[in-house]
Amino acid sequence: MPLSLDAFGRMLDETGLPLTDAQKSVLFDAYPMFQAMLARATAPLPREAEPAVVFDPDVR
Domain boundaries, the chain: 1-31
- The pLDDT assigned to 1 comes to 64
Question: What is the C-alpha separation between 31 and 51, in angstroms, rounded?
Answer: 32
Question: Position 35: which residue type?
Answer: Q
- The pLDDT assigned to 31 comes to 92
Weakly modelled stretches of the chain, pLDDT under 50: none
